[in-house]
Chain A
Amino acid sequence: MSGMLYGGDEIGALVFDPGHHSLRVGYAQEDTPKAEIPAIVGVAPDGGPKLEPEVKVEGSGGSSSSINASQPPTSAAAWKYYIDTTFLHTPRQNMELHPYMKDGMIENWDFFEKVIDYSYAKIIQSESEYHPVLFSESPWNQRPKREKLMEIMFEKYKVPAFFLVKNAALAAFANGRSTALVIDSGATHTSAVPVLDGYVISNAVVKSPLGGDYLVLRARELLEAQGIDLTPASMIASKEVVRDKDKAKYVKKPISFAPTNSWMAYMSKRTIQDFQQTVLQVSETPYEERVASAVPAVHYEFPTGYHQDFSSERFRLAEGLFDHAMLGAGYIASTSAGMCDVDVRPALYSSVVLTGGNSLVQGFSDRLSRDLSLRTPGSMRLKMIAANGTVERRFGAWVGGSILASIGTFQQMWVSMQEYQESGKVQIDRKCP
């Protein structure tokens, strides 16, 4: 309670920030989430040949069996669920991977609940009824989904209090702003969201499908066209040192079965993501072959041991995020600001907050700031706010949620269990704007 000085009051709340790439979980008032769980669930029929005994991970503690029995997605057979990187990255027979997010919103609630179960059991390691829960959501989240989430949290997890905030507003808070134009470049899309006094102006949200996954797609095309083997690291037992651009020499792990296609796709995506994070760079000015090839090449070695230099490709690939006339990051930002009331535009331009994991592609913020300054009216001051740290940028919304949930004046905002029991889930729109 001495936190009066800084206006903080910690009540043991939890913050969940579901994203396409991962779900971030942690305690409010901490500076980083406790865990980042991939937003994907592995499902395999139970009773199949198990590779390791410790696979029993799904579900919270003792209630795992009941979950398995009660909510199989398709048939009545028992299913096993594999959550979190350690379990996902091992090849397993018949394990199909399913994403539970779609278009920034939670799509498959059964899988989502599994992940929440897992977070409580393994990450939080505490009972859900002791911790108020703050969830983030995408600015275009639909009302039925909001209600459903609230219902699940109260009915199933018996949380004492619940709150739902738009992730763009949280990202703005994390950067110390209540009014900002939030450019969130995530896995599936890049969005420009104007936030005014902590409220998202929902009619002026602009999004484009050019995000991290798009880069992965383009990188995959390029690498496959070059005939590069994208076998993931977890399939490789050993590899030999080869010369630059020489054919890879490696030994595959002895696996008796063929991993599922979805697993292979996911794992090769992880491989490409690593490639993308290490190699890709956005050039500061629109792509030019001549300029790009003058920049020193970057060397990259694939899990198979194959390695080569990448020079102009790294710029050409990343250029896809910006060169589109209608969907480039700079364009959507200025469109979004242009849809807002003229009175707030100067405030928005003077704090453009950049967040999201994909914004960490090298040179992203420089290029965005250049593109945006070309579109900014001359009389307005443009200021880009991009956190330097990887954690702050990737978990912007989570950090904002962590801050918000531990502010003393926020504690009156929670939708409490009592309020939920009195007015039901329909109040979500009233309580959580």
Chain B
Amino acid sequence: MADVRDIMELDQPVTPELTKEAILGADKNKKRLFNAGQKVSKRPEGMHREVFALLYNDNKDAPPLFPSDTSNGYKQTKIKLGMRKPRKWEWMSFTNPARSDNTLFYHWRRPSDETKEYPFAKFNKKIDIPIYTDAEYNQHLTTEGWSRQETDHMMDLARRFDMRFIIIADRYDTEKFPKRTVEEIKDRYYKVCGILAKLTNKKMYTYDADHEKRRKEQLKRLYERTPEQIEEEQFLIGELKKIEARKKERERKTQDLQKLISQADNQGETPRKADKKLPKKKITNPSRPSRVDTSHILQAVETAGIKFPDYKNSGVSLRSQRMKLPASVGQKKTKGIEQMLQDMGMELNPTPSEEICQSFNELRSDMVLLMELKSALGTCEFELQSLRHQYEALNPGKTLTIPAQLLTAGNEQEAVKIGEIIDVVGSPGTPSGI
């Protein structure tokens, strides 16, 4: 504040400055601070004179800096040594519970800890390796190519090296037994474990040695590629990416084009739709609705079904991806599919085997088609009914008898009709070439 006053050339009485204590409202401190404001020259305890001189000049002006909390002084309290008796250390013996013998070792320890257990003993973890009796072995574990001695040796090594199979294979007694690969040992070990687990109804682990072997072979080949091969592969991958990018670009363009075309179509159709909404005021040609209807249905059928995207992309993908509904399928349809599947008692996500995948997609495509046909039929009927009402309104007393085949009286008829329409349209059974 002082510097501001100096600049403004004001001569104001010293105002009490805000401090933590002032804000907190500690009365005692406030009083002290008032005093401090008046008697600024008092050097706080522990503050060096040079530092103090920087803050307070000879004019005994108020300090240009915001006063900090000086209650504890500037000096940090020193550790007070020699106040308490240090705790003792003692070179004493100890036994380690992790050891099988009770050998005494010596180390430095606080006498107060003497009764405690050796703290590192708790880290002594052992892997549970199953054991078998003679009877068990003879009954269940005998197998071609593995003698009892060798199995014992293998299990012993597994225990000693905590199932580090690579080390087990390394330390295998090749003088007494034939040389074994890591896979052979693992295979035998897990078979023994599996059989023993089966006997006691415990959890079983299976090990596919052939698969492992193939995997390692592949890995080996992967690692043993020459730099030229790697370079070539990188080059090819780069090329593939370029091709894919181009393909995507092309697809995007065709899509844009299609959108434009369909938009143009829709624009051509909208007036017709508007026409349809106005039939109440028009005397419609009897032949006309049917024509409109068929085109409507045709269009519906054409867009019906789900167009599942091609999965001809390079690279690995999950087959279940092919079962995913494309984003173009609306939420309503998705719900409808789910509902139908539930009604049929089917799973929403069956196991995606090749066959199931295809059939499931076809099924859902058919479902969507069915839904669309139903809704188309609904609109047709509605229009038919409204036309009849119009007809009756215009010709009082007369009733329009609608031919039976146009009414959805029974399910059979409906089914027949749909079948007919489907036949007319083509074969939506294999929609859009999955």
Contact = CB atoms under 8 A, between A and B. Distances in A.
Query: Do they bind each other?
Result: yes
Interface of A: 1-2, 4, 7, 9-12, 130, 132, 160-161, 196-197, 199, 201-204, 340-345, 377-380, 408-409, 411-412, 414, 416-419, 422, 430, 433
Contact of B103 (A9, A203, A377, A414): A414
Contact of A341 (B216, B222, B227, B230): B216
A372 to B, nearest CB: 14
A166 B223 CA distance: 29
B218 to A, nearest CB: 9
Given A10-B108, A343-B216, A199 B103 contact: no
A62 to B, nearest CB: 25
B220 A160 contact: no
B164 A196 contact: yes
Interface stretch (B113-121, B145-153, B418-426): B113-121
A419 to B, nearest CB: 6
B103 A197 contact: no
B107 A10 contact: yes
Contacts of A412: 96, 98-99, 120-121, 124
B182 interface: yes
A419 B223 contact: no
B113 A411 contact: no
Given A196-B166, A433-B161, A345 B171 contact: no
16 contacts: A1-B113, A9-B107, A10-B107, A11-B107, A160-B103, A197-B167, A203-B170, A341-B182, A377-B222, A409-B123, A411-B105, A414-B105, A422-B101, A430-B160, A433-B167, A433-B171
Interface of B: 96, 98-99, 101-110, 113, 118-121, 123-124, 160-161, 164, 166-167, 169-171, 182, 216, 219-220, 222-225, 227, 230
B358 to A, nearest CB: 36
Contacts of B113: 1
A380 B109 contact: no
Given A196-B167, A379-B222, 17 more contacts: A1-B113, A7-B120, A9-B120, A11-B107, A12-B107, A197-B164, A199-B167, A201-B166, A202-B171, A203-B170, A341-B166, A378-B230, A409-B123, A409-B124, A411-B96, A412-B98, A418-B101
A416 B110 contact: no
B106 A377 contact: no
Contacts of A1: 107-110, 113, 119
A343 B216 CA distance: 7
Contacts of B223: 342, 345, 377, 379-380
A416 B160 contact: no
Contact of A408 (B106, B108, B120, B161): B120
Contacts of A202: 170-171
A130 B224 CA distance: 53
B88 to A, nearest CB: 12
A7 B121 CA distance: 12
B105 A160 contact: yes
Contacts of B227: 378
Given A1-B113, A377-B225, A161 B161 contact: no
A161 to B, nearest CB: 7
A54 to B, nearest CB: 34
B106 A12 contact: yes
Contact of A201 (B106, B107, B123, B170): B170
A201 B166 CA distance: 8
Nearest to B224: A377
Contacts of B170: 199, 201-204
A161 B160 contact: no
Contacts of B103: 160-161, 414, 416-419
Contacts of B104: 160
Nearest to A1: B109
B108 A343 contact: no
A409 B220 CA distance: 37
B159 to A, nearest CB: 11
A221 B409 CA distance: 113
Contacts of B124: 409, 412
Which among A411, A419, A422 has the greatest number of chain B C-beta atoms within 10 A?
A: A411
A169 to B, nearest CB: 12
A416 B99 contact: yes
B289 to A, nearest CB: 69
Given A1-B119, A201-B166, A344-B166, A11 B161 contact: no
A399 B106 CA distance: 22
Contacts of A418: 101-103
A202 B167 CA distance: 9
Nearest to B182: A341
Contacts of A430: 160
Contacts of B225: 377-378
A201 B167 contact: yes
Nearest to A414: B103
B368 to A, nearest CB: 46
A84 B104 CA distance: 34
A344 B224 CA distance: 15
Nearest to A374: B227
Nearest to B221: A342
Contacts of B108: 1, 10
Contacts of A203: 170
